[in-house]
Structure 1
Amino acid sequence: MNNKTTSFNAVITIPPEYVVIKKIEYDRLVENDEVKFWELEDLMTKTCSSKYWVMKNIVNNPELRDLIESFSIFPKGKNGPYKFNAKKMSRFLDEHFEEIKERAES
């Protein structure tokens, strides 16, 4: 068996609006650039839903609230802000989409 190696030289033109960086550097930049917390309005936007719907079907739903409590900050008073860890809430919405949808429809 004869192993042959072939080499190719190529010229790749990268437009000036692009840069080439290592993936690890890209991941670090993306992580540092992300919003760390969502407020209730962000959750409404991400789910394309009203405040009433979000409160009823996610935030105040006893089963789902138990699942989101570890990465959420609930208001101390009646009108205080809600805060949600952006990454964890985004993952939660992806992982529980069908369950949220079913609960909302029933």
Structure 2
Amino acid sequence: MQQPQTVELNILWQVPSDSIIIKKSEYEELVSASLAGETWTMKDLERKTKKKAIWLRKNVLDVPEFREILDVDNGGCTFYPETGTGERWAFQASKMSQFLDEHFPDIYTRSE
């Protein structure tokens, strides 16, 4: 029977001059900071998620346990317009992005 062997490899790889290497946590902080102060419309949210407004409402925005978290009236990141007022949806981009990341499994395991 052969004994397993351990091999150590040193691979030289040069980072292209137009690139940098940073820790994943630092990258995530940069992405979050890039959304700071940005507000999304429903059209922006559709573009970001590649889902239509009707799907987003049915599977995220109008789901009671998600609305409890998202609604600005509860300290969340989503302005829910009142029907018939002409108001428009508004989303705090950084926090909505974080919500979607954190709840991705919940959203997609319950979606129709």
| Same fold per superposition (TM over 0.5) | yes
For residue 79 of structure 2, the aligned residue among 59, 62, 73 is 73
- Alignment partners' CA distance in 2, 1:39 and 1:51: 11
Unaligned runs of 5+ in 1: 1-14, 18-26
Instruction: Give the count of matched residue pairs.
Output: 81
Unaligned runs of 5+ in 2: 1-16, 19-28
- Between 75-84 and 90-99, report the one with greater CA deviation: 75-84
Q: What's the TM-score, normalizing by structure 2?
A: 0.60
For residue 87 of structure 1, the aligned residue among 71, 74, 94 is 94
User: Deviation of residue 74 (structure 1)?
Assistant: 1.4
Matching of residues 1-106 of structure 1 within 5 Å:
31=33, 36-69=38-71, 70-78=76-84, 79-105=86-112
Q: What's the TM-score, normalizing by structure 1?
A: 0.63
Partner amino acid, structure 2, of 1:96: H
- Alignment partners' CA distance in 2, 1:63 and 1:33: 25
